[in-house]
């Protein structure tokens, strides 16, 4: 009977662990060499803990059962035993040294950011991510795309509820990508479990990390450091693609950016600006200033019926272009293009009954942010 248990118990536990893997109960193995190493370390230390636990709790529950006062157990007299104590100090030390060696190797590997093929700058912002492909002139913001109706329970929740963005970070597989990370306001933390990358983004400072993805796919993560009210709503989506597919994507992005840049010089109609401004407002502004511009004072002032904003166009543009230091209002000078800024300014001045009729031209914005 006992031998049956000896066989059955570990089998059940291991089967359970495999099941856990399939059901999302355990750490993902991930799609990089490092994530696999980490998973290996995780499982090793887990089984070490299970073994020690079985031993310690085994002795403990045996004692509790065997030496019951109610069954007339008489207490023994011993209260120290030096060699046993030395032994149970020495054995854990050996186990720990055994763990420290592979952990050190993995850590050294994680810190080796040299010889990267592509540099991507990751910038945390309340509450979105910005990705800049260094030297490629491609940069964009990545906002959560889950509509607030779903969060409020007014619409059915999609499969990737809270883990979907308007613009994913697209990366090539099989290439070493170096991440440079910083923040515009508070500390955020960029984390994608499948890539085993978690790194704080710290305002004014730069952090490094790297990844080399082995399999194409869509990998999702979230901000892991409390960064204010919408901390739970700044997901990360990484789209890992074949290398040639990545090159095509990169070329398309560059072309689109050029197209947009050409739009700066022409005259825009009010309707056109409003249409362009609404999605920008929803993606960038609505998380703080709310869908109808009603704001959430005192942290986030209302935009609708804001007298100062309506009276003073220059002030309005200045707030958006240059931001307000020490608040969640960043400078959009270099993260939105002049068309987007002009459109969103026009939108906020005319939506929700503002009706100033101002059609702010991209060219006038471009003047204010000349290089």
Partner 1 sequence: MWSIIQSVLAALIGVQKDRKRQQDFASEKPLGFIVAAILVTLIFVLILILVANIAAG
Partner 2 sequence: MSEYEAARAAGVRRTVIRSTAALIGMFAFAFALVPLYDVFCRITGLNGKVDTTAQAIIHEEVDQSRYITVQFITRGSAGLPWQMSVATRQMRVHPGQTAEVDFTFTNNSQQKSWGRAIPSVSPSSATNHLRKVSCFCFQEQLLQGDERLTIPLVFQLARDLPEEITTITLVYTLYPVHNMVLDASLNNNKIAGDKI
Partner 3 sequence: MAPKLPPQHPLQHSTTAAADGQADHAHHASPKGIMRWLLTTNHKEIGSLYLIFSLIMFFIGGIFALVVRAELFQPGLQLIEPEFFNQMTTMHGLIMVFAAVMPAFTGLANWMIPLQIGAPDMALPRLNNFSFWLLPVAFTLLLSTLFMPGGGPNFGWTFYAPLSTTYAPPSTTFFILALHIAGVSSILGAINIVATILNMRAPGMRMMDMPLFVWTWLITAFLLIAVMPVLAGVITMMLMDINFGTSFFDAAGGGDPVLFQHLFWFFGHPEVYIMILPAFGIVSAIIPTFARKRLFGYASMVYATAAIALLSFLVWAHHMFVVGLPLAAELFFMYSTMLIAVPTGVKVFNWVTTLFRGSISFEPPMLFALAFVVLFTIGGFSGLMLAIAPADFQYHDTYFVVAHFHYVLVPGAIFAIMAGVYYWLPKWTGHYPHERLAQCHFWCSIVGVNLTFFPMHFAGLAGMPRRIPDYALQFADFNLVSSIGAFFFGISQLIFVLVIVLCVRGGRKAPAQAWEGAEDLEWSVPSPAPLHTFETPPVFHRSHHGD
Q: How far is the CB of 97 from partner 2 (least distance, A)?
A: 26
Q: How far is the CB of 177 from partner 1 (least distance, A)?
A: 23
Determine the Cα–Cα distance for residues 70 and 51; give it in Å rounded to an integer. Answer: 31
Q: How far is the CB of 100 from partner 1 (least distance, A)?
A: 8
Question: Nearest-CA neighbor of 235 among 157, 140, 159, 129?
Answer: 129
Stretch that binds partner 2, among 91-99, 243-251, 329-337, 346-354 (CB under 8 A): 329-337
Number of residues that bind partner 2 (CB under 8 A): 42
| Residues in 135-164 that interact with partner 2 by CB under 8 A | 135
Determine the Cα–Cα distance for residues 38 and 228; give it in Å rounded to an integer. Answer: 30
Stretch that binds partner 2, among 70-78, 95-103, 112-120, 276-284 (CB under 8 A): 112-120
Q: Is residue 315 a contact point for partner 2 (CB under 8 A)?
A: yes
CB closer to partner 3, 59 vs 134:
59
Question: Nearest-CA neighbor of 234 among 276, 185, 293, 294?
Answer: 185
CB closer to partner 1, 57 vs 88:
88
3-class DSSP state of 221: strand
- Pick what 370 binds: partner 3, partner 2, partner 1, none; C-beta below 5 to 8 Å, kind-dependent: partner 2
Residues that bind partner 1 (CB under 8 A): 80, 82, 85-86, 89, 104, 108
Length of the chain: 371
Q: Is residue 307 a contact point for partner 2 (CB under 8 A)?
A: no
Q: Is residue 128 a contact point for partner 2 (CB under 8 A)?
A: no
Q: Is residue 325 a contact point for partner 2 (CB under 8 A)?
A: yes
**Taking the CB of residue 323, how many other CB atoms lie within 10 A of it?**
18
**Taking the CB of residue 309, how many other CB atoms lie within 10 A of it?**
21
Handedness of CA 14, 16, 18, 20 (dihedral sign): negative
Which residue's entry shows tokens 């299970």? 50
Q: Is residue 333 a contact point for partner 2 (CB under 8 A)?
A: yes
Which residue's entry shows tokens 């508070």? 186
Cβ-proximal residues to 41 (8 Å cutoff; 6+ apart), any chain: 99, 102, 103, 106
Which residue's entry shows tokens 């409003």? 274
User: At 199, which helix (H) or strand (E)?
Assistant: strand 197-201
Distance from the Cα of residue 206 to its chain's centroid: 17
- Pick what 67 binds: partner 3, partner 1, partner 2, none; C-beta below 5 to 8 Å, kind-dependent: partner 3
CB closer to partner 2, 208 vs 258:
208
| Residues in 264-303 that interact with partner 2 by CB under 8 A | 301
Determine the Cα–Cα distance for residues 310 and 177; give it in Å rounded to an integer. Answer: 45
The tokens of 127 are what? 């509450």
Q: How far is the CB of 79 from partner 1 (least distance, A)?
A: 8
**Residue 213: DSSP 8-state:** B
How far apart, in Å, are the Cα atoms of 165 and each of 233, 238, 247? 10, 10, 21
CB closer to partner 2, 106 vs 113:
113
| Residues in 198-257 that interact with partner 2 by CB under 8 A | 203-208
Q: How far is the CB of 361 from partner 3 (least distance, A)?
A: 33
Which residues of this chain interact with partner 2, rule CB under 8 A? 112-116, 119, 121, 134-135, 178, 180, 182, 184-185, 203-208, 301, 308-309, 315, 318-319, 321-327, 329-331, 333-334, 368-371
């Amino acid at each position: 009977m006992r031998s049956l248990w000896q066989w059955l118990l570990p089998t059940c536990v291991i089967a359970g662990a495999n099941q856990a893997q399939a059901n999302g109960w355990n750490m993902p193995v991930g799609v990089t060499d490092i994530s696999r190493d980490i998973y290996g370390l995780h499982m090793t230390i887990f089984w070490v803990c299970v073994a020690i636990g079985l031993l310690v709790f085994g002795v403990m529950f045996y004692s509790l059962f065997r030496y019951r006062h109610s069954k007339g157990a008489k207490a023994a007299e011993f209260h120290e035993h030096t060699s046993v104590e030395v032994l149970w100090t020495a054995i854990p030390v050996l186990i720990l040294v055994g763990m420290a060696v592979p952990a050190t190797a993995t850590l050294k590997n994680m810190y080796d950011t040299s010889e990267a093929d592509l540099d991507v700058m990751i910038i945390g912002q309340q509450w979105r991510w910005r990705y800049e492909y260094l030297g490629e002139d491609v940069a964009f913001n990545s906002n959560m795309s889950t509509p607030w109706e779903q969060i409020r329970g007014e619409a059915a929740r999609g499969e990737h509820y809270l883990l979907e963005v308007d613009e994913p970070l697209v990366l090539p597989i099989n290439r070493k990508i170096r991440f440079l990370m910083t923040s515009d306001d508070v500390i955020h933390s960029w984390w994608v479990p499948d890539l085993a990358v978690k790194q704080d983004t710290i305002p004014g400072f730069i952090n490094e990390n790297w990844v080399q993805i082995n399999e194409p796919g869509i990998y999702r993560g979230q901000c892991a450091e409390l960064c204010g009210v919408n901390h739970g709503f700044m997901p990360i989506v990484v789209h890992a693609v074949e290398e040639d597919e990545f090159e095509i994507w990169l070329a398309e992005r560059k072309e689109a950016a050029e197209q947009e840049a050409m739009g700066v010089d022409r005259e825009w109609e009010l309707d056109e600006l409003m249409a362009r401004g609404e999605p920008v407002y929803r993606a960038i502004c609505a998380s703080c200033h709310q869908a109808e511009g009603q704001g959430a004072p005192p942290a986030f002032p209302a935009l609708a019926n804001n007298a100062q904003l309506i009276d003073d166009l220059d002030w309005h543009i200045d707030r958006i272009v240059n931001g307000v230091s020490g608040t969640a209002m960043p400078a959009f000078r270099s993260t939105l293009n002049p068309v987007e800024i002009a459109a969103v300014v026009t939108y906020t001045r005319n939506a929700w009954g503002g009706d100033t009729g101002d059609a702010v031209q991209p060219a006038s914005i471009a003047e204010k942010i000349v290089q």
